[in-house]
Structure 1
Amino acid sequence: MPRAVTLIRSTALSDVAEYAYAATAPADARLVFLAGACPLDEEGATVAVGDYAGQAARAVENMRTALAEAGATIEDVISTRVLVASDRQEDLVTAWEVVRDAFGDHDVPSTLMGVTVLGYDAQLVEIEAVAAVLDS
């Protein structure tokens, strides 16, 4: 199935970023807006308490599930926002590395943010995403 997302890289901007700077989708693409994927198990309990990498991995897993329910995959994601409850850059990087690795070569535009607190008890990571799908 053809993909709707086109990643755009810039030679005029720093190549230090581990993601494309922009992405587009054609006008006939169906956009899928995901709620923040949280590190929750099937019963709604926060997993990997105190573990940024573990929570990021579970949030990615839950994001993949939500994408599948909408008829999309991780390769259809057009942008992400990764929220990390910490003021320490190393905690943000720990969560980011898990998310980056999950996306592999599909390095969508992303924003990584440190926040004060997230919505669930002991929650450290949340991933927001938008996907674009060409329905056939």
Structure 2
Amino acid sequence: MARAVTLIRSSSLSDVAEYAYAATAPANARLIFLAGACPLHADGSTAAVGDFAGQAAKALENLRVALKDAGATLTDVISTRVLVASDRQADLVAAWGVVRDGFGDHDVPSTLMGVTVLGYDDQLVEIEAVAAVLD
């Protein structure tokens, strides 16, 4: 199946980044704007309390479900924003490692941000995404 997303790497920028610097989708692609995927169980309780990597894994699992329900997969994601409720770089890196590994070779343009607080009790991680598919 043809994919709508083309990842763009820049030889003019650092190759240290673990993601593409840009991505495109053709004009006929259907864009899917996903709400932030949270580390919540089906009953609404927060998963992996106190565990940045565990919450990133649950948020990524929930992102996969939302994508599937919208007719897409992780390889259709064109960009992400990973929010981590911490001012410690090590906590951001712990969450990022799970997200990066979850996307595998599809290393979408991403922004990793430390934030003050997130919306649910004990929530440490949230993953926002935009996807593009060809109908």
In 1, the alpha carbon distance for the partners of 2:112 and 2:105 equals 18
State the SS of the aligned residue for 2:10. Answer: coil
Q: Which runs of 5+ in 1 are unaligned?
A: none
- Give the Cα–Cα distance (whole angstroms) in 1 for the partners of residues 72 and 44 of structure 2: 23
Who is 2:67 aligned against? Answer: 67
TM-score, normalized by length of structure 2? 1.00
Instruction: Using the aligned pairs only, state the percent identity.
Output: 82
Shift of 1:132: 0.1
* SS at structure 1 position matched to 2:106: coil
Q: How does 1:1-136 map to 2 (within 5 A)?
A: 1-135=1-135
* Cα distance between partner residues in 2 of 1:99 and 1:23: 18
Superimposed CA distance per residue, residues 20-78 of structure 1 (whole angstroms, 9 cap, x where no aligned partner): 00000000000000000000000011010000000000000000000000000000000
CA distance in 2 between counterparts of 1:59 and 1:8 reads 26
Return the alpha-carbon distance in structure 1 between the equivalents of residues 63 and 111 of structure 2. 16
User: Superposition RMSD on alpha carbons, in Å?
Assistant: 0.2
Q: Name segments (4+ residues, structure 1) moved above 4 Å.
A: none
Deviation at 1:80, TM superposition (A): 0.0
**Unaligned 5+ runs, structure 2:** none
Number of matched pairs: 135
Amino acid at match of 2:27: A
Distance 1:75 1:7 in 2: 10
Q: Distance in 2 between matches of 1:53 and 1:8?
A: 27
